Chains A and B, each alone.
Chain A
């Protein structure tokens, strides 16, 4: 079923995430390196989609893994590592957004990608590109929920855990986010 597709479902061979955590705690550094290999891209994706800034997303990703490594002992056995690391990354992003808002009186401008060159112009009509632009145009709370939906699939409980919100709120945000997306995509289609 399409709806059951999940971005971060462990399709990788080798030990489970929980085992890797245990191995890391036992002094095996390579085990943590494997965890980084599995999740750095997804965490970066979440950070970039939330912060809209390459450097800040990079720093937030690094910070998330650093915090995770330092507090690995608090990781509950049986919990999902992806949910845990996403929650840490999300909080790191929120801290950065709050700091940004504190130092800026104006509403933050959307940090879009640099001005499109001829090549970018050529791929501007690409479906993925348009969807990305539409996601970027969403309000922050909807953008995050749709990004996590993209990463974790229909695991509402896990999305709720990452965001620290009730599941009902997550479902409502997701519903509204999708509505927004539809409108944005439809509007873009009309302008084309």
Chain B
């Protein structure tokens, strides 16, 4: 066969079949793209977990390096402030008012988390 003419060479070229890709290629592409399993944690969750881990490490470091005194002092200070707040009648009043409002709202909005269990017991 002669290949002098451009048309003849073009005919040959365009008649050339494409290479056969490996059988699992398409599946591999799709698995790597659209069917890729979504990550277990979202980025903000990873950031939160990281921050939590950092706090735990810091606490452990404080306990180990400071012989526990700094940690205990800190916990004591937090506890003292908490007790101080709870011993204030105004604060307790606000907490009670908040709780009562929450219960009152839950009755009228239908959000009753214990209703399901109660119904089940009734049956």
- A residues contacting B by CB (< 8 A) are 2-3, 5, 7, 24, 29-30, 32-33, 36-37, 40-42, 44-45, 48-49, 54, 57-58, 61-62, 65-66, 69, 127-128, 131-132, 146, 149-150, 153, 178, 181-182, 185-186, 189
27 inter-chain pairs at a CB distance below 8 angstroms, sorted by A residue, are A29-B34, A33-B34, A36-B26, A40-B21, A40-B26, A41-B18, A44-B18, A44-B21, A44-B25, A48-B19, A61-B21, A61-B25, A65-B32, A66-B32, A69-B33, A127-B1, A127-B12, A128-B15, A128-B17, A131-B12, A131-B16, A132-B16, A146-B13, A149-B13, A150-B16, A181-B3, A189-B1
Q: Which of B4, B12, B22, B34 contacts A58 (CB 8 A)?
A: B22
Closest beta carbon of chain B to A162's beta carbon, Å: 16
Bound-state Cα–Cα, A3 to B34, Å = 37
A62-B24 Cα distance, complex, nearest whole Å = 11
Q: Which residues of B contact A (CB under 8 A)?
A: 1, 3-4, 6-7, 9-22, 25-26, 28-30, 32-35
Bound together, the chains give a CA A185 to CA B3 distance in angstroms of: 8
Q: Give bound CA distance, A128 to B20, whole Å.
A: 14
Contact B13 A150 (CB under 8 A): yes
Nearest residue (CB) in A for B6 is: A178
CB distance from A119 to the nearest CB of B (A): 16
Q: Closest residue to B12 on the A side, CB-wise?
A: A131
Residue from B14, B15, B22, B33 whose CB has the most chain A CB atoms within 10 Å:
B33
Once bound together, how far apart are the Cα atoms of A10 and B35, in whole Å?
25
Q: Is the CB of A62 within 8 A of B32?
A: yes
Q: How many Å from the CB of B58 to the closest CB on chain A?
A: 37
Of all A-B residue pairs in the complex, the 4 with the closest CB atoms, nearest first, are: A29-B34, A44-B21, A69-B33, A45-B18
| CB <8 Å contact, A42 and B13 | no
Task: Please measure, in the bound complex, the distance between the C-alpha atom of A40 and the C-alpha atom of B92, giving whole angstroms.
Answer: 69
